[in-house]
Protein backbone atom coordinates (compact mmCIF):
# COMPACT_ATOMS: atom_id res chain seq x y z
CA UNK A 1 0.00 0.00 0.00
CA UNK A 2 1.15 3.53 -0.75
CA UNK A 3 0.00 6.61 1.15
CA UNK A 4 2.07 9.65 0.11
CA UNK A 5 1.05 13.25 -0.27
CA UNK A 6 3.39 15.81 -1.83
CA UNK A 7 2.03 19.36 -1.86
CA UNK A 8 3.27 22.83 -2.73
CA UNK A 9 1.28 25.81 -1.55
CA UNK A 10 1.04 28.84 0.70
CA UNK A 11 0.08 28.94 4.36
CA UNK A 12 -3.32 30.53 4.94
CA UNK A 13 -2.41 31.50 8.52
CA UNK A 14 0.49 31.22 10.94
CA UNK A 15 1.23 27.75 12.31
CA UNK A 16 -0.73 26.95 15.49
CA UNK A 17 2.01 25.42 17.65
CA UNK A 18 0.87 23.60 20.80
CA UNK A 19 2.28 21.02 23.16
CA UNK A 20 0.68 17.79 24.36
CA UNK A 21 0.52 16.94 28.07
CA UNK A 22 3.70 14.91 27.63
CA UNK A 23 5.49 17.93 26.12
CA UNK A 24 5.44 16.84 22.46
CA UNK A 25 5.20 19.75 20.01
CA UNK A 26 2.39 19.63 17.43
CA UNK A 27 1.71 22.26 14.78
CA UNK A 28 -1.43 22.60 12.70
CA UNK A 29 -1.85 24.73 9.61
CA UNK A 30 -3.79 24.99 6.36
CA UNK A 31 -2.07 24.96 2.99
CA UNK A 32 -3.68 26.70 -0.02
CA UNK A 33 -2.80 24.65 -3.11
CA UNK A 34 -3.67 26.05 -6.54
CA UNK A 35 -5.58 23.79 -8.92
CA UNK A 36 -4.09 23.00 -12.34
CA UNK A 37 -7.03 24.44 -14.27
CA UNK A 38 -9.11 27.61 -14.30
CA UNK A 39 -12.85 27.96 -13.79
CA UNK A 40 -15.33 29.38 -16.34
CA UNK A 41 -14.37 32.94 -15.35
CA UNK A 42 -10.71 32.20 -16.09
CA UNK A 43 -9.72 32.30 -12.41
CA UNK A 44 -7.54 29.69 -10.74
CA UNK A 45 -9.16 28.13 -7.69
CA UNK A 46 -7.38 26.62 -4.70
CA UNK A 47 -7.89 23.69 -2.36
CA UNK A 48 -7.32 24.26 1.35
CA UNK A 49 -5.59 21.25 2.88
CA UNK A 50 -5.40 20.75 6.66
CA UNK A 51 -1.96 19.61 7.81
CA UNK A 52 -0.34 18.56 11.08
CA UNK A 53 3.38 18.36 11.91
CA UNK A 54 4.96 16.86 15.03
CA UNK A 55 7.97 17.17 17.36
CA UNK A 56 11.09 19.18 16.52
CA UNK A 57 9.94 19.58 12.91
CA UNK A 58 6.84 21.39 14.20
CA UNK A 59 8.94 23.83 16.22
CA UNK A 60 11.29 24.49 13.30
CA UNK A 61 8.40 24.89 10.86
CA UNK A 62 6.62 27.37 13.14
CA UNK A 63 9.84 29.39 13.56
CA UNK A 64 10.61 29.75 9.85
CA UNK A 65 7.21 30.19 8.16
CA UNK A 66 4.25 32.52 8.51
CA UNK A 67 1.02 33.35 6.74
CA UNK A 68 1.63 33.47 2.98
CA UNK A 69 4.89 31.48 3.01
CA UNK A 70 5.45 29.19 0.01
CA UNK A 71 6.34 25.69 1.23
CA UNK A 72 6.56 22.16 -0.04
CA UNK A 73 5.50 19.30 2.21
CA UNK A 74 5.81 15.54 2.03
CA UNK A 75 3.63 13.36 4.21
CA UNK A 76 0.74 10.92 4.41
CA UNK A 77 -3.01 11.31 4.47
CA UNK A 78 -4.64 10.33 7.73
CA UNK A 79 -8.27 10.18 8.81
CA UNK A 80 -9.26 10.33 12.46
CA UNK A 81 -12.54 10.79 14.29
CA UNK A 82 -13.77 12.03 17.62
CA UNK A 83 -17.02 12.80 19.39
CA UNK A 84 -17.83 16.50 19.73
CA UNK A 85 -19.65 18.22 22.63
CA UNK A 86 -23.03 17.55 21.01
CA UNK A 87 -22.28 13.81 20.93
CA UNK A 88 -21.83 13.69 17.15
CA UNK A 89 -19.03 11.72 15.48
CA UNK A 90 -16.70 14.11 13.58
CA UNK A 91 -14.30 12.82 10.92
CA UNK A 92 -11.12 14.75 10.10
CA UNK A 93 -8.85 14.11 7.10
CA UNK A 94 -5.44 15.77 7.18
CA UNK A 95 -1.89 15.41 5.89
CA UNK A 96 0.61 14.31 8.54
CA UNK A 97 3.83 16.05 7.46
CA UNK A 98 7.02 13.98 7.45
CA UNK A 99 9.27 16.64 5.89
CA UNK A 100 9.01 20.15 4.51
CA UNK A 101 10.93 22.50 2.23
CA UNK A 102 10.96 26.29 2.32
CA UNK A 103 10.50 27.45 -1.28
CA UNK A 104 11.32 31.15 -0.98
CA UNK A 105 14.58 32.92 -0.22
CA UNK A 106 14.88 34.19 3.34
CA UNK A 107 14.81 37.84 2.20
CA UNK A 108 11.48 37.34 0.45
CA UNK A 109 10.00 35.52 3.49
CA UNK A 110 11.12 38.40 5.75
CA UNK A 111 9.64 41.00 3.37
CA UNK A 112 6.30 39.20 3.28
CA UNK A 113 6.18 38.90 7.05
CA UNK A 114 6.73 42.62 7.45
CA UNK A 115 4.19 43.62 4.81
CA UNK A 116 1.49 41.08 5.69
CA UNK A 117 1.37 39.83 2.09
CA UNK A 118 -1.11 37.00 1.57
CA UNK A 119 -1.20 36.39 -2.19
CA UNK A 120 -1.65 32.64 -2.01
CA UNK A 121 -1.43 31.91 -5.71
CA UNK A 122 1.12 34.48 -6.81
CA UNK A 123 4.80 35.09 -6.25
CA UNK A 124 5.42 38.62 -4.99
CA UNK A 125 8.68 39.48 -6.69
CA UNK A 126 9.38 43.15 -7.13
CA UNK A 127 11.04 42.51 -10.49
CA UNK A 128 7.76 41.25 -12.00
CA UNK A 129 8.63 37.62 -12.73
CA UNK A 130 6.99 34.55 -11.23
CA UNK A 131 10.17 32.71 -10.29
CA UNK A 132 11.07 33.52 -6.66
CA UNK A 133 14.67 32.37 -7.23
CA UNK A 134 15.33 34.38 -10.39
CA UNK A 135 17.26 37.54 -9.74
CA UNK A 136 16.85 40.85 -11.47
CA UNK A 137 19.75 42.38 -13.38
CA UNK A 138 19.46 45.81 -11.77
CA UNK A 139 20.29 44.68 -8.24
CA UNK A 140 23.88 44.17 -7.17
CA UNK A 141 23.05 42.24 -4.00
CA UNK A 142 20.78 39.56 -5.50
CA UNK A 143 23.65 37.53 -6.97
CA UNK A 144 24.90 36.77 -3.45
CA UNK A 145 21.54 35.15 -2.69
CA UNK A 146 21.48 32.93 -5.78
CA UNK A 147 23.75 29.90 -5.32
CA UNK A 148 23.43 29.11 -9.04
CA UNK A 149 24.39 32.55 -10.32
CA UNK A 150 27.18 32.56 -12.90
CA UNK A 151 30.21 34.14 -11.26
CA UNK A 152 32.31 33.81 -14.42
CA UNK A 153 34.75 31.37 -12.81
CA UNK A 154 35.18 27.99 -14.53
CA UNK A 155 33.73 25.01 -12.67
CA UNK A 156 36.45 22.53 -11.72
CA UNK A 157 34.98 19.02 -11.52
CA UNK A 158 36.99 15.89 -12.06
CA UNK A 159 35.57 12.79 -13.73
CA UNK A 160 35.84 10.95 -10.40
CA UNK A 161 33.27 13.33 -8.85
CA UNK A 162 30.60 12.52 -11.44
CA UNK A 163 28.08 9.77 -10.59
CA UNK A 164 28.01 8.35 -14.14
Tell which wins on pLDDT, 113 or 7.
7
- Name the residue range of residue 87's domain: 5-118
Count how many residues are written for the chain: 164
Domain annotation covers residue 28: yes
Asked whether residue 142 carries a pLDDT value surpassing 60, the answer given is no
Give the CA diameter of the chain.
69
Tell which wins on pLDDT, 135 or 36.
36
Domain annotation covers residue 40: yes
pLDDT band at 138 (very low <50, low <70, confident <90, very high): very low
Domain annotation covers residue 87: yes
- Is pTM beyond 0.75 here? no
- pLDDT reported for residue 60: 92
Own/partner pairs for 131-140, CB < 8 Å, 24+ apart?
132/70, 132/103, 132/104, 132/105, 132/108, 133/105
- In terms of Cβ atoms closer than 10 Å to its own Cβ (0-12, 13-18, 19+), residue 37 is exposed
Asked whether residue 53 carries a pLDDT value surpassing 50, the answer given is yes
Please report, for the domain that includes residue 110, its CATH number: 2.40.50.140
Domain annotation covers residue 138: no
Contact 29, 57 (CB under 8 A): no
Count up the domains in the chain and report the number: 1
Query: SS3 helix, strand, coil % of the chain, rounded to 5?
Result: 15, 40, 45
Amino acid sequence: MINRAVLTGRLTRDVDLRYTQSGTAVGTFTLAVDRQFTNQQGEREADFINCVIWRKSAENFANFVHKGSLVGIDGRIQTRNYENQQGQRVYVTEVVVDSFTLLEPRSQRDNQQGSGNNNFGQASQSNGNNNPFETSNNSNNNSAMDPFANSGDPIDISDDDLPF
